[in-house]
A and B are shown apart, each in its own frame.
Chain A
Amino acid sequence: DSGVTQTPKHLITATGQRVTLRCSPRSGDLSVYWYQQSLDQGLQFLIHYYNGEERAKGNILERFSAQQFPDLHSELNLSSLELGDSALYFCASTRGRGRLQETQYFGPGTRLLVL
């Protein structure tokens, strides 16, 4: 158990809908990273937050947004969902300001299925 929690574990929704994925980092960790994993695209970095502020963006679509709250949990919002958004979404946390040289602890993931 990494200490990172993600909810929900599974999510089934329809095209055009909007969903929110939640991540709670390990106690004391200030950085949260979001990743998308799909069969065709592999593992892709989406976005990184440190202590409530956005630090880096990867291949995140404009339909997707994220935020990190004062209690350091983070939410990833996916809107206008398409079939191709079906994937596993992981978050990871690190203790410090978020240099990637720090070990990232991954959560168990949320499996999203868009029908």
Chain B
Amino acid sequence: QQQVKQSPQSLIVQKGGISIINCAYENTAFDYFPWYQQFPGKGPALLIAIRPDVSEKKEGRFTISFNKSAKQFSLHIMDSQPGDSATYFCAASINDKIIFGKGTRLHILP
């Protein structure tokens, strides 16, 4: 019940395309859903986050879509760029504890 399932494990997208990463959770008590971006050799960095009372949040080229009834949320990267190549982690938190997905390695072809 504490798991967050993330897919796909890896993703290759052409420059300018849309990258989509999906996550699913079981515990309806989760109250915060952040996405992290991690470049090789670096620590994760918060990219964008959403609360369950909102269905969509957009920041620049990054959008989170949240489906509370399906217990799913996804990250969309519009106009994907080679600089977006990184590993992306979705997460869900409850009571100051955070559970991460396994990560998606995204590669944007130039």
Contact = CB atoms under 8 A, between A and B. Distances in A.
Interface residues of A, number: 23
Given A100-B32, A100-B34, A106 B99 contact: no
A104 B46 contact: yes
A2 B98 CA distance: 20
Nearest to A108: B43
B69 interface: no
A107 B41 CA distance: 11
Contacts of B102: 42
B59 interface: no
A55 B100 contact: no
Interface stretch (A14-22, A43-51, A62-70, A76-84): A43-51
B44 interface: yes
B45 interface: yes
Contacts of B97: 45, 48, 56-58
Interface string A88-108: 001010000011110110111
B10 to A, nearest CB: 14
Contacts of A42: 89, 100-103
Nearest to B103: A42
A109 interface: yes
Contact of A2 (B36, B41, B43, B49): B43
B98 A107 contact: no
B96 A92 contact: no
Interface string B88-100: 0100010111111
Given A45-B98, A58-B98, A108 B46 contact: no
Interface of B: 32, 34, 36, 41-46, 49, 51, 89, 93, 95-103
